[in-house]
Amino acid sequence: NLSSGKKLCNALQSMGTTFIKLGQFLATRPDIIGEGIAKDLEKLQDKLPAFNLNVAKNILRDEIGKENFEQIKNISEPIAAASIAQVHFAEINVSGINKKVAIKILRPNIEKIFNEELDALMLLAYIVEGIVKKTRRLKLVEVVHLLREITNVEMDLRFEAAAANELYENTLNDVGFEVPKIYWNQTSKKVLCLDRINGISIREIENLKSLNIDTKKLAKNVIQNFLRHAVRDGFFHADMHQGNLFVSKNGIIMPVDFGIMGRLDKANRKY
């Protein structure tokens, strides 16, 4: 009785991390797969099965050390879970002030699982290119190599923290755009700690309209901010799908998930 979109979603989820990533990409392209299927695949962006809270606490303690771990209070159950990591809400003590934060934690053994799946995909790409000559123009092997490069960076959350910090500093004076602050004492290879944002997902259009937020103006602001960062700074959020953008009650755009960023050199910016 399931829709074709839900069947596809369940199939991709059961096939593992690499295919979940593919589903996440497809969810951002309703122009290719249709609105209905894209809507069903949105679940793959942040609503996957989570791992246990105690496992998350053990990873936290091992990664950041006992002293920094003890500064974290009221760790919540997972509030979002994606293919590579999940997110918890908590509070940390910074210079005597309690800060509300979000803590992103990598899934256990995710690097091993992902690399095994990529090895299988690589073998498949070589076989397809070897047997069906016409597929060589698609450069399947190159695509898998690129996927491996991108995800190996995504699996070291220090890269994401550094990217978020750079975007935060670049956009401090940008009106209507707010990047959460990073807390480095609670950040490591497998853990990322940053300000908790208070907003509505940009995909919840009816909720945005109920707050009298002008969605056409909001759409324009998303594009303008993206271009500002790309052309002015040469550094931009390269994964701005609807699962990674939130909006405050007064219309401020707040991005999350800084695992995939883009850079443009001066020549390209000028061009």
- Tell me if 149 sits within 8 A of 172, measured CB to CB: no
Options 40, 46, 195, 239, the catalytic residue: 239
Q: H or E stretch including 110?
A: helix 110-131
Q: Provide the phi-psi class of 109: left if phi over 0, else alpha when psi is between -120 and 50, else beta.
A: left
- Tell me if 243 sits within 8 A of 256, measured CB to CB: no
239 is known as an active-site residue = yes
- Tell me if 199 sits within 8 A of 255, measured CB to CB: no
The 8-class DSSP code of residue 213 comes to -
Phi and psi for 204 in degrees, rounded to 5?
-85, 75
Task: Collect all residues with Cβ–Cβ distance below 8 Å to 21 and sequence separation of at least 6.
Answer: 83, 147, 151
Q: Across the strands, what pairs with 47?
A: 81
Task: Collect all residues with Cβ–Cβ distance below 8 Å to 182 and sequence separation of at least 6.
Answer: 161, 164, 165, 168, 192, 193, 194
- Tell me if 47 sits within 8 A of 81, measured CB to CB: yes
What token pair was written down for 212? Answer: 């009298």
Nearest-Å Rg of the Cα atoms of the chain is: 20
- Tell me if 188 sits within 8 A of 63, measured CB to CB: yes
Active site residues: 239
